Amino acid sequence: MTRSSALAAAFAPHADLAAVLLPHAFVADDGSHDASHLIRVWKNAARIHAEEGGAERVLAAAVLLHDCVSVEKNSPHRMQASRLAAEKATDILRNLDWSAEDIVSVAHAILTHSFSANVAPETIEAKILQDADRLDAIGMVGAARCFYIAGRMGSGLYDPLDPLAEDRELDDKAFAIDHFETKLFKLADGFQTAAGRRLALERQQRLRDVLAMMLDEI
């Protein structure tokens, strides 16, 4: 089995769809939005879907293409990323002769998955994608991705004089662990599905444990 077919197999039972969409799915130089991220989000989505229902093929396509346009976290165009990805996904699926109804469903899920875009999901597939993607931003993996992105942006790990920002403004562009308070700890309150909320509480505690261990070592 080739590497590409092995990656596609990770999206079972939609391996054939994954084989077609993965070449369009992500930019190779971003380790926080790569194939491993897509696989984790698919596992999260499949777990939630098993309890919440929805159109699985639509959900699989939305997971595979939700990051098909890459915009760096510090870009002034960051809030447009999900819209641009939805537009690109629409073109890709139209060329694959998907029905207009399914294309609209996939595009809506992609548009609304983003925290930055702040657009409410209206379908069960969109709610599942948003929850599945946000689960990957909290917990141990969420902490790892936070530090990875901080490295890409040239941020420090923490303020050596005031790690918890007790006497300064939070600044997650300058210090990685500030991002825990400015965004990551807030995510658990916004989950859309019952299954997603339950999983989020578990991962939220892991994220707090990571911060507590880091502060202990500091």
In the prediction, which pLDDT does 34 show?
Answer: 87
2.40.160.60, 1.10.3210.50, 3.40.140.10, 2.60.40.10: CATH of 1-123: 1.10.3210.50
Looking at the chain, the domain(s) classified CATH 1.20.58.1910 span 137-218
CATH 1.10.3210.50 domain residues, the chain: 1-123
Cα separation of 20 and 166, whole Å?
50
> What are the backbone angles phi and psi of residue 156, rounded to the nearest 5°?
-80, 165
Rounded CA-CA distance 38/30 in Å is 12
**What values do phi and psi take at 177, rounded to 5?**
-70, -15
Residue 125, both tokens: 């597939």
CA angle 23, 153, 151 (to 5 degrees): 85
Residues 33 and 114 sit within 8 Å (Cβ to Cβ): no
Question: DSSP 3-state helix, strand, coil percentages of the chain (rounded to 5)?
Answer: 65, 0, 35
For residue 19, what pLDDT is reported?
A: 95
Tell me: domain 137-218, CATH 1.20.58.1910, correct?
Answer: yes
Distance CA 114, CA 74 (A): 15
Residue 72: predicted pLDDT: 65
What is the structure's pLDDT at 106?
98
Q: Tell me the HSE value of 56 on the side-chain side, using a 13 A CA sphere.
A: 17
pLDDT reported for residue 115: 73
DSSP characters over 64-120: HHTTSS---TTSTTGGGHHHHHHHHHHHHHHHTT--HHHHHHHHHHHHHS-TTTT--
- In the predicted model, residues of the chain with pLDDT beneath 50 are none
pTM of the model: 0.92
